[in-house]
Amino acid sequence: MEYSPGLRGVIAGETSISTVGEEGTSLRYRGYDATELTRNNTYEEVASLIINDSLDGDQFKLAFSKFYEDASHDDWLTKIINNLKEKGLHPMDVLRTIVSSSKELDSDTQIELAARISATVCFIIASYHEDETDELSDDYLVASSLMPNGSDSHMLEALDDMLILYAEHGFNASTFATRVTASTRADLTGAIVSGIATLKGELHGGANERAVELVNSFNNTDEAEIGINELLKQKKKIMGFGHGVYKRQDPRSPIVKDWVTKLAKSESSKNRFEIAKKIDEIMDEKKNLFPNVDFYGGLLLAELGFDVSIFTPIFVAGRSVGWSAHYFEQREQDILIRPAAKYTGK
């Protein structure tokens, strides 16, 4: 049996949910080009597509609204969130802990189960805003649940696009962890917690935090050029570049970069964007590596007013519907995932 480190290139299952990296660049959700979905559809419609194979987002919107409203009136939930925040836990740890206590009803449809998880995640993230977040937009429902009341429509649209691009991405580490848990016939909540725990790692969802921290460590493009070249000389990994599946370009990155271009208005934002582009240029010239969604994604989330610690939870807000879809698919296949290992001991 041939060994492939990290299961690279190994077909570990069958799925009808998405294809990633075909022709070196593409991303499709149930046959639809994900980049086109950002132009023509909302996150709620895409969530329905991923879970139900339908672009009619009304059921997801109805369920999400109900569960978000329920969460906003749940005094126990608010108390637990505040207690965990007071302990100084990272928001991803708060998410993981609270989502693990989420209830599931036998009467819930798949859309309702996914929407319940999504609403819980979004309510927890919203609790980190100092401003009120209780006015939901019918146009950008999930995005508006994450932003302060009265947020500009362009900012909501940008976040909606980000959520769509985060929604699904094949058998990545967190999704595979979700499917492994699902394969044991565990409940959806347990599988989602597996996904959250895996996504926190800096080689996965946490890369957006590291990428922005790198950009923020430089005051100008000259410093960035010197600093990045020094890091490369030391053979340090530069977060936010290259991809394990895409060979020529991450199709999500240009969309996110375009939004940063549109939203970066202040001098400090423009300077940060110039620094990011300089790093991008150096990585292309010196390493022939392209930026993935995490690199400019972190900059976009910063422009939208999110603290760096909330970047990966926003990833969860988008990806939870993808995890849910993979959970349902794996349960339907009902095959326990149990790979072999290559023994290297004595």
Residues noted as catalytic: 204, 243, 294
CA–CA distances in Å: residue 172 to residues 20, 95, 187, 199, 203: 10, 20, 20, 10, 11
The residues near 309 (Cβ < 8 Å, ≥ 6 apart) are: 90, 91, 209
Relative orientation angle of helices 91-99 and 311-333, to the nearest 10 degrees: 30
For residues 206 and 199, give the distance between their C-alpha atoms in angstroms, rounded to a whole number: 7
Backbone φ, ψ for residue 29 (5° rounding) = -105, 115
Number of neighbours of residue 210 by Cβ within 10 angstroms: 19
Give the residue from 36, 37, 56 showing the smallest Cα distance to 48: 56
Provide the phi-psi class of 27: left if phi over 0, else alpha when psi is between -120 and 50, else beta: beta
